[in-house]
Amino acid sequence: MVSQGPYIDLVEEPIQMELLRGRIDHPDAGAHGWFVGVTRRRTGDLITETLHYEAHNTMAMRELNKLAESALKEFSLLHLVIVHRLGEVPIAEASVAIGCSSRHRPETFAALEWIMNKLKKDVPIWKREVYRDGKEEWIHPNADIDAGGDSP
């Protein structure tokens, strides 16, 4: 075991999975699970060149910690790691990594989806798509803005 409680981080460099894996080790765990979100090249007809992420850092860390504490209780997790990358995240590289361990697999499967859904709703992190045709837009789901166009 490396740590107790959730491990939360915002990083400007590539997420180093090999340094995170040990953080969810626990002798009582029967399941380890990871979700890794990566930059996708194609969304419908749009070809993404790269993504940029920015955050309200202090608030994002606070929201991630709240989210993690809730998930630990809700799913009886043994350990939990959430790391989000900021700045440029090129195609196929990881923007977010969430790992958890639990006694049995249902809790791990359920927790990963629950955490991602909450993260995408409440944690103040935003992505800006840079498309191959040179257009750029902030992704603000369900927002009506002049500057960026529709959210895919």
Partner 1 sequence: MAVSLMIIEVLLFAAARDLTGRDVVKVEVASPVQHADANSVSETQAGDVGNATCVTVSCILRALGQQYPELRLLLPSCRLAVDCEYVGPEVGVAQDAEVALIPPVSGG
- Footprint of partner 1 on this chain (CB under 8 A)? 37, 53-56, 58-60, 62, 84, 95-96, 116, 119-128, 138-148, 151
> Cβ 91 to partner 1, closest distance in Å?
16
Encoded tokens for 141:
């789901």
The residue among 29 and 51 lying less far from partner 1, judged by its C-beta, is 51
Cβ(55)–Cβ(4) under 8 Å?
no
Q: Which residues pair with 99 in a beta bridge?
A: 34, 81
- Burial classification of residue 61, based on how many CB atoms lie within 10 Å of its CB (0-12 exposed, 13-18 middle, 19 or more buried): middle
Rounded to a whole number of angstroms, the minimum distance from the CB of residue 70 to partner 1 is 15
**CB 101 → partner 1: shortest distance, Å?**
21
Specify the residue for token string 């006694």. 103
Give whichever of 56 and 135 is closer to partner 1, judged by the CB atom. Answer: 56
